[in-house]
Amino acid sequence: MDLFHRPVMLQEVIASLGCRPGGVWVDGTLGGGGHAEAVLRETAPDGLLIGIDADEEALEETGRRLAPFGARKILVKGNFADMDTILAEKKIGKVDGILLDLGVSSHQLDKAERGFSFTLDAPLDMRMDRSRGMSAADLVRTLPAEELQKILRDYGEERMAGRIARALVNRRSASPILTTAELASAVLRAMPRGAERQKIHPATRTFQALRIAVNDELASLRKALASGTGRLARGGRFSVISFHSLEDRIVKDAFRAGEKGCVCPPDLPVCACGLKPTLKVLTRKPLIPGETEIAANPRARSAKLRTAERI
């Protein structure tokens, strides 16, 4: 089952959440259930886990994996950005821990028809929830060059964003870009000579940027950080595993803002906003996987774990 998605930094995550018997715990990115299973074991005999995932296949597979835990787990199809609504619908108030693992699961990357990877030719989809929203092919087919450039620059940190965006628009005027191979080829052709010899594939940042845009990942993360903090009981922990600098920056800034509280200008003699600190940051520097884990699971190499505690 770990082949569906090998959980990253499993022991570090369990320690960061402060798992103990009882309580209510939220896994907002259920995936293959590796983290969820460990949480359920550590919170036995009466801990309750709410597992959320937008991917129906992940819910089906993980439902079978977690079946032995019976009513101690509640699995919900949804986006972690809607955590507040989901918990309200389940009549759950405060929770003792929240985990978000922001990585794309190995199952999604390795299953060609999901369209997440340029290493497997498939329809250009990239939606976590395939029942809703625009696919990556839709974005590439319809967005003007300026909007494509912004997506590639802001979400992929792609230095050649303008060049690639113009190339995609020119390419689609002849025929639509419908598959992962077609997109990867179009990006490669747009790059300067010798780009194919880079350490990472020239299309990596473009695929990352389109995936983030298709699933509105950064806005969802900001919403989840805000609503999740409000749902934590005093002493509850919020742990987030991110995989690139944009996500990590959002998590770091949100946790630091929660720790600071007041947002008044520094030169204001008395606080006027009335905002009090809500969090204590437990990871001044993010935890990263060890060499042994990276050797066993190379996809873990860019993971960073940050944790804050509700005060």
- Per-residue pLDDT reduced to its tens digit, 136-182: 999 999 999 999 999 999 999 999 999 999 999 999 999 999 999 99
The full set of domains in the chain, from first to last, is: 10-107+217-310 (3.40.50.150), 109-215 (1.10.150.170)
Q: Which residue has the higher pLDDT, 58 or 10?
A: 10
- DSSP summary character for residue 92: -
Residue 2 pLDDT: 45
Mean pLDDT of the chain: 91
Burial class of residue 160 in the structure, from the number of CB atoms within 10 Å of its CB (0-12 exposed, 13-18 middle, 19+ buried): buried
Contact 143, 123 (CB under 8 A): no
Return the closest-CA partner of residue 211 out of 131, 151, 126.
Answer: 126
The model's pTM is 0.88
Cα first-last separation, the chain: 37
Q: How far apart are CA 101 and CA 111, in angstroms?
A: 19
Return the closest-CA partner of residue 139 out of 214, 219, 215, 216.
Answer: 214
In the block, which residue shows the tokens 């439902």? 63
Phi/psi at 94 (nearest 5 deg)?
Answer: -80, 150
**Confidence band (pLDDT; 50, 70, 90) for 114?**
low
Q: How far apart are CA 279 and CA 149, in angstroms?
A: 36
- Per-residue pLDDT reduced to its tens digit, 50-76: 999 988 888 999 999 999 999 999 999
- DSSP summary character for residue 32: T
